[in-house]
A = this chain, B = another copy of it.
Amino acid sequence: LLPQTGHLRRTKTEVKGMAGNPDEIAKDQLISIIERVERLEEEKKGISDDIKEVYAEAKANGYDTKVLRKVVQIRKQDAAERQEHEAILDLYLSAIGLA
């Protein structure tokens, strides 16, 4: 679990030092990583729930959520395509020395 430093780590019981020793630091770092990820995933779940709410509200107003989802999807694709087209254009411009 600990970062791989290229050698087998000393076991915890070998460590007699004060707080601040490498193992402690690594442990804190590990906990920090885990908790940051967990915090972000909670936020992400919150957003997902918000999206569901929007669709639920739309449905309550008589919209067909399946169609709505399709619309959002298509617009996303279009946006991606536009970006793609610009990238190609840039490529062409570069190719003829007009970057």
Contact = CB atoms under 8 A, between A and B. Distances in A.
Of the four ranges (under 10, 10 to 19, 20 to 34, 35 or more), the interface on chain A belongs to 35 or more
Given A43-B47, A51-B37, A96-B1, A88 B75 contact: no
B51 A41 contact: yes
B34 A64 contact: no
Given A33-B68, A37-B54, A92 B47 contact: no
Contact of A54 (B33, B71, B96): B33
Nearest to A69: B37
A74 interface: yes
A72 B32 CA distance: 12
A16 interface: no
